[in-house]
Amino acid sequence: MATLTRSVTDALTLVDQELSSVVARLSSESEQQLEELAEILASAQRVFVVGAGRSGLALRMTAMRLMHLGLTVHVVGDVTAPAIRAGDVLLTASGSGTTGGIVRAAQSAVNAGARVAAITTAATSPLAALATTLVVVPAAGKLDRSATASAQYSGGLFEQLVVIIGDSVFHALWQRADASADELWTRHANLE
């Protein structure tokens, strides 16, 4: 086993620096993509979210926040998720843009007349080709082992950015809705 050479605070600083660098690039290079993501979600009749692994967990966090705004949100795969249809949006996240289940879900959504919003690192992926709205995150994919892309393990930076993008979209939509935190709180789970 390798010897631990970095402290946790060194690692925390590294993660912060990588996130700050990519957020700065997104802010300057992808403002239009981010605004389109916010608009497509706000205009959806219903929002469905799908992702695999850690990306899927990150999108579930976004689903919860969108529900707090009053949007009708479903997590693909939950037994209560209805059929997707025209007027709906499928929000996806896949670093590679090639994850089979995510691409198949996006194709099914398109076939049903729904729009697809994709967050990925791969602008020319099958998922990107199906997307109505595309946010390309300049981060390492899970199979990119080069330290030049990210010193973090296996897509960690991308997954963290999925959370940050989701929270940022939520925050902007919340501010536009001019609703108080107390108003949103009435939708918070009370069966905990």
pLDDT value at position 4? 47
Q: What is the pTM of this model?
A: 0.92
d(CA 189, CA 192): 7
Options 18, 159, 183, 192, the catalytic residue: 159
CA–CA separation, 111 and 25 (whole Å): 34
Is 35 catalytic? The answer is no
Q: Which residues contact 26 (CB under 8 A, 6 or more apart)?
A: 34, 135, 137, 138, 161, 165
- CA distances for 68 relative to 62, 167, 177, 184, angstroms: 10, 12, 12, 5
Domain residue spans of the chain = 22-175
d(CA 172, CA 12): 27
Check if CATH label 3.40.50.10490 holds for domain 22-175.
yes
Nearest-10 crossing angle of helices 8-29, 31-42: 80
In tens digits, what is the pLDDT along the chain, a chain of 192 residues?
Answer: 344 447 888 889 889 999 999 999 999 899 999 999 999 999 999 999 999 999 999 999 999 999 999 999 999 999 999 999 999 999 999 999 999 999 999 999 999 999 999 999 999 999 999 999 999 998 876 666 665 678 887 788 999 999 999 999 999 999 999 999 999 998 998 887
**pLDDT for the residue 1:** 36
